[in-house]
């Protein structure tokens, strides 16, 4: 019987998504429901002098108005849940509604609730807020300097933490190196731009004391936990439901003020309260990504051996510490500085800095793209300095295939890898040598072609819970599944992960169907409701398949074992004489004496004839805690043509060779790579969230923030190598890989094209204006 594992069947969630029959949070309509909207600060930094809500209270349809002073003693401030050890993290209180000071444009100062959406929209405009504006600081490096505006009185120089990663002796390595290079790299702020903005509907039953919160969540169990803390409610009185969720990219991990506020209002009013973000609001108040200023250095020998890497990073956190904010530029960034290489000496000093911007948290890749970007940029710049082909420098420093598991000087143990294999495959697809020859010919005709190569490795499958605890992450990182088989043999699987576009309703069903000898139609995957799914930690960090998928498998295997025992009992055979063949347990050599899984499920569910000591029913649960992270890797290669007169970058070819272990559903893996690469190309070429010096977000709409359009994207040539992880399913995760590789790949290609002009680096996004300016500067600097 053919297995479903490895089969690119169509996504089972798509029919409802593409026919409009899915239910998103904003589709939830409850009797008596009222609507909330927030009054948000137009200032990036200001003292609140007074708030006059009298006119809003009297407006038609208004049922309640709340200010910060009304709620500050009733709610626990929005928690930060990641406190990396040894860095003296300072977390200021983050009130749900600002009451003394606002710290970014969009910081909420009041909530208005009215009978209809139109009425609440009118009423928020009637709230009069008097501010005393203060100087703002938006640049994470300048914010630490003397004279910069101070966001929080108790946090001098806006420095939330200084975190260090060190291995070997970087100072000594740089002192004794043949050659070294350095660069200043800005990894711009990005707006996650999930297709569905955030939303929340809260409903409170005064009789039972039960709060139900529908919200746009990547991790409903984390939201349940944090909402129970903020609302001071027992956790079992809080039910969080993430219905259909239209993308997250990390932005739907954190706890936000709004979810707690609509819950509080629902409890006060005894009526369901709904809030739905609009796009401009989404850009202002939903977390942003990246925002690093990095001083980076690499050193090595003249023949290409990298001996040291050093960084000093200023990571903007925004006005407050978001849920996972401090963990992103530290644990998920600095620990992977070794990349795919045996770098013996590493020192990173990361400053987490409060600025008058929207809080920064996980955005696709979360810390790892920033690390891959700086490492892969430095490899190219170093190669150029010593006059070596960047591909050869990579080869020379790769962790060799036979050295896995490999422990980096930063303390990570990579599970498995074959970096050279992926590199060879990608270069073969391009025909690297021929391209280099074409490049030389083209330059004679004043055409600037370039090739960028990136060999990335990432930390995925987050992760062992003991490690989560050790690195200060305030949650577990195991995951869970309940496999419930109905009397007719069909299956529902309740999972702790919370997919929102990744296709796990398909891939997880493939795992279970294979185990039971079923067509995939017999299995449904249920997720997103904390009242019926087991404790889990959500979907992010390319963890769902590696961790939750493993839990699904373990639970299914438990039932298969039960079914085997029951089959032996019913067939009056020895368990050892049974074999699993063609989807049935059969007595070896007697194919007519066989029981399929559905029949065994019926017998277990009716329990008429059970073996002694066997419980009735066909249901099992599993909690899977991985022993290690998984480390997917790959090589991306792209070629570009840079118009020397206009600065326009044209991508000629984009080749991605990724290794995420054995793919359960190759079509879904390719879809994840496609989306990831495109998101990275957006970052490389056109996306940037711009604050002016006063902290005004100038890219407040999709007219100003340049999300990639399909017509702008090149054809993506995908291929894979398969190096299984030694942990359970062997799979490694592929959700973030594309983004981690592609931004650096494009910048490497463009700087390669412009290397005759002596251009080593141009900061993303490589808009024509920026590339053109770099060309002019380089030409002007020439004698």
Q: Are 632 and 734 in contact (CB under 8 A)?
A: yes
Nearer to other proteins, 136 or 649 (CB): 136
Instruction: Indicate the SS3 state at residue 296.
Output: strand
Contact between 283 and other proteins per CB under 8 A: yes
- Name the minimum Å distance from CB 76 to other proteins: 28
Q: Does 698 bind other proteins (CB under 8 A)?
A: yes
CA 427 to chain centre: 29
| Span of 9-17, 125-133, 362-370, 558-566 interacting with other proteins by CB under 8 A | 125-133
Q: How far apart are CA 632 and CA 732, in angstroms?
A: 6
Selected from 27, 128, 235, 431, the binder of other proteins by CB under 8 A is 128
Only one residue has tokens 């969540």, namely: 217
Q: Which residues pair with 347 in a beta bridge?
A: 166, 310
278 binds other proteins (CB under 8 A): no
Q: Which helix (H) or strand (E) holds 244?
A: none
**In terms of DSSP H, where are the helices of 544-616?**
549-570, 597-606
Asked if 628 interacts with other proteins (CB under 8 A), we say no
| Paired tokens of 645 | 């007169």
Cβ-based nearer residue to other proteins, 281 or 294: 281
Q: Reduce the DSSP state of residue 12 to 3 states and report it.
A: coil
Give the footprint of other proteins on residues 72-111 (CB under 8 A).
105
The label of the residue with tokens 């992977």 reads 336
Helix (H, G, I), strand (E, B) or coil at 453: strand
DSSP string, 308-349: EEEEEEEEEEESS--SSGGGTTTTTTGGGTTTTB----EEEE
Q: Which span (164-172, 634-642, 651-659, 700-708) binds other proteins, by CB under 8 A?
A: 700-708
Cis peptide before 611 (omega within 30 of 0): no
Q: Cβ closer to other proteins: 669 or 689? A: 689
Question: Is residue 703 within the footprint of other proteins (CB under 8 A)?
Answer: yes
Provide the 3-class DSSP secondary structure of residue 601: helix
Q: Of 40 and 553, which has the nearer Cβ to other proteins? A: 40
44 binds other proteins (CB under 8 A): yes
Interaction between residue 375 and other proteins (CB under 8 A)? no
710 near other proteins (CB under 8 A): no
- The residue among 539, 535, 558, 560 whose CA lies nearest residue 549 is 539
Strands 523-526 and 413-414, how do they pair? Answer: unpaired
Residues 6+ apart with CB under 8 A from 224: 235, 238, 239, 240, 530
693 is a site residue for other proteins (CB under 8 A):
yes
- Say if residues 227 and 323 touch (Cβ distance below 8 Å): no
Binding part of the chain for other proteins, among 238-246, 279-287, 660-668, 672-680 by CB under 8 A, reads 279-287
Q: In Å, what is the CA distance from 248 to each residue of 58, 201, 363, 400, 518?
A: 37, 18, 9, 36, 32
Find the binder of other proteins among 35, 82, 104, 131 (CB under 8 A). Answer: 131
Please give the size of the binding site for other proteins, defined by CB under 8 A: 26
* Both structure tokens of 513: 């169907």
CB of 116 to other proteins, least distance (A): 18
**Binding flag, residue 280, other proteins (CB under 8 A):** yes
40 binds other proteins (CB under 8 A): yes
CB of 193 to other proteins, least distance (A): 15
Least Å from the CB of residue 144 to other proteins:
23
- Residues 766/772/775/776 CA torsion (nearest 10 deg): -140
- Which listed range, 35-43, 368-376, 584-592, 665-673, lies at the site for other proteins (CB under 8 A)? 35-43
Q: How far is the CB of 39 from other proteins (least distance, A)?
A: 8
Nearer to other proteins, 180 or 699 (CB): 699
Comparison of 628 and 696: residue with beta carbon closer to other proteins: 696
- CA 264 vs CA 252, 363, 416, 555, 751: distances in Å: 20, 29, 48, 38, 53
293 binds other proteins (CB under 8 A): no
Q: How far is the CB of 692 from other proteins (least distance, A)?
A: 5
Mark 473-502 with x for binding to other proteins (rule: CB under 8 A) and - for no binding: ------------------------------
Of 696, 712, 755, 760, which lies in the binding site for other proteins, with binding defined by CB under 8 A? 696
Asked if 142 interacts with other proteins (CB under 8 A), we say no
67 near other proteins (CB under 8 A) = no
Q: Which is nearer to other proteins, 52 or 575 (CB)?
A: 52
**Does residue 738 touch other proteins according to CB under 8 A?**
no
The dihedral through the CA atoms of 221, 223, 229, 231 has a sign that is: negative
Q: Does 41 bind other proteins (CB under 8 A)?
A: yes
Is 310 within 8 Å of 167 (Cβ atoms)?
no
Does 288 bind other proteins (CB under 8 A)? Our answer is: no
Shortest CB 698 distance to other proteins, Å: 4
HEC string of 56-101 equals: HHHCCCEEEEEEHHHHCCCCCCCCCCECCCCCCCCCCCCCCCCCCE
697 lies in the site for other proteins, by CB under 8 A = yes
Q: Given the complex with other proteins, which of 132 and 235 has the nearer CB atom?
A: 132
| Stretch of 41-49, 71-79, 398-406, 519-527 lying at the interface with other proteins (CB under 8 A) | 41-49
Minimum CB separation of residue 694 from other proteins in Å reads 6
In the complex, which residues of this chain contact other proteins (CB under 8 A)? 40-44, 105, 124-125, 128-129, 131, 133, 280, 283-284, 692-694, 696-701, 703-704
């Amino acid at each position: 019987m053919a297995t479903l594992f490895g089969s690119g069947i169509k996504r089972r969630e798509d029919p409802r998504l593409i026919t409009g029959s899915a239910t998103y949070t904003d589709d939830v309509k409850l009797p008596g429901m009222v609507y909330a909207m927030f009054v948000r600060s137009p200032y990036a930094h200001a003292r609140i002098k007074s708030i006059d809500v009298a006119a809003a209270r009297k407006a038609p349809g208004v049922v309640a108005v709340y200010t910060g002073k009304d709620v500050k003693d009733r709610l626990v401030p929005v928690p930060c849940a990641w406190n990396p050890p040894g860095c003296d993290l300072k977390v200021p209180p983050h009130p749900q509604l600002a009451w003394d000071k606002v710290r970014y444009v969009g910081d909420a100062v009041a909530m208005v609730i009215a009978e209809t959406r139109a009425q609440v929209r009118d009423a928020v405009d009637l709230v009069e807020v008097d501010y005393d504006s203060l100087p703002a600081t938006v640049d994470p490096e300048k914010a630490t300097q003397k004279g910069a505006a101070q966001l929080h009185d108790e946090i001098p120089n806006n420095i939330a933490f200084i975190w260090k990663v060190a291995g070997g002796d970087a100072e000594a390595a740089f002192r004794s190196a043949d050659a070294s290079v350095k660069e200043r790299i800005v990894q711009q702020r990005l707006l996650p731009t999930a297709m569905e903005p955030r939303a929340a509907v809260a409903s409170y039953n005064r009789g039972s004391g039960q709060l139900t919160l529908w919200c746009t969540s990547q991790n409903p169990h984390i939201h349940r936990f944090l909402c129970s803390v903020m609302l001071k409610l027992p956790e079992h009185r809080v039910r969080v439901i993430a219905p259909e969720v239209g993308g997250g990219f990390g932005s739907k991990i954190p706890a936000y003020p709004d979810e707690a506020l609509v819950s509080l209002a629902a409890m006060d009013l005894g009526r369901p309260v709904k809030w739905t973000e609009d796009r401009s609001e989404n850009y202002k108040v939903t977390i942003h990504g990246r925002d690093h200023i990095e001083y980076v250095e690499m050193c090595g020998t003249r023949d290409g051996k990298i001996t040291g890497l050093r960084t000093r990073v200023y990571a903007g956190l925004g006005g407050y510490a978001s849920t996972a904010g401090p963990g992103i530029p530290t644990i998920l960034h600095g620990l992977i500085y070794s990349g795919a290489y045996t770098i013996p000496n590493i020192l990173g000093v990361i400053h987490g800095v409060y600025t008058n911007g929207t809080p920064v948290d996980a955005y696709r890749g979360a810390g790892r793209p920033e690390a891959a970007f700086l490492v892969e940029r430095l490899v190219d710049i170093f190669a150029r300095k010593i006059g070596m082909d960047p591909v050869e420098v990579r080869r020379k420093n790769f962790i060799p295939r036979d050295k896995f598991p490999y422990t980096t000087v930063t303390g990570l143990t990579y599970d498995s890898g074959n970096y050279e294999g992926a590199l060879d495959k990608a270069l073969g697809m391009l025909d690297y040598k021929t391209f280099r020859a074409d490049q030389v010919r083209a330059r004679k005709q004043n055409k600037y072609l370039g090739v960028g190569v990136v060999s990335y490795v990432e930390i995925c499958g987050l992760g062992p819970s003991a490690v989560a605890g050790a690195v200060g992450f305030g949650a577990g990182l195991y995951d869970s599944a309940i496999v419930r088989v109905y009397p007719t043999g069909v299956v529902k699987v309740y999972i702790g992960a919370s997919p929102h576009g990744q296709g796990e309703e398909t891939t997880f069903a493939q795992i279970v169907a294979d185990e039971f000898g079923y067509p995939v139609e017999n299995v449904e995957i249920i997720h997103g409701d904390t009242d019926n799914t087991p404790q889990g930690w959500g979907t992010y960090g390319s963890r769902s398949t590696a961790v939750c998928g493993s839990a699904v498998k373990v639970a299914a295997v438990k039932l298969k074992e039960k079914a085997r025992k029951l089959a032996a009992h019913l067939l009056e055979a020895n368990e050892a004489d049974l074999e699993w063949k063609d989807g049935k347990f059969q007595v070896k050599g007697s194919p007519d004496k066989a029981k399929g899984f559905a029949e065994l499920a019926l017998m277990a569910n009716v329990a008429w004839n059970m073996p002694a000591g066997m419980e009735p029913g066909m249901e099992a649960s599993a909690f899977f805690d991985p022993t290690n992270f998984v480390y997917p890797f790959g090589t991306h290669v792209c070629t570009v043509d840079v118009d020397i007169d206009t600065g326009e970058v044209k991508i000629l070819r984009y080749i991605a060779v990724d290794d995420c272990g054995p793919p359960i559903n190759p079509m879904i893996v390719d879809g994840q790579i496609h989306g990831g690469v495109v998101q990275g190309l957006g970052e490389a070429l056109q996306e940037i969230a711009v604050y002016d010096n006063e902290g005004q977000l100038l890219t407040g709409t999709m007219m100003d923030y340049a999300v990639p359009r399909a017509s702008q994207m090149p054809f993506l040539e995908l291929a894979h190598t398969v190096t299984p992880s030694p942990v359970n399913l062997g799979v490694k995760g592929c959700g973030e890989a594309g983004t981690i590789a592609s931004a650096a790949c494009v910048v490497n290609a463009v700087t390669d094209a412009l290397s005759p002009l002596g251009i080593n680096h141009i900061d993303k996004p490589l808009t024509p204006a920026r590339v053109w300016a770099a060309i002019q500067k380089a030409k002007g600097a020439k004698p």
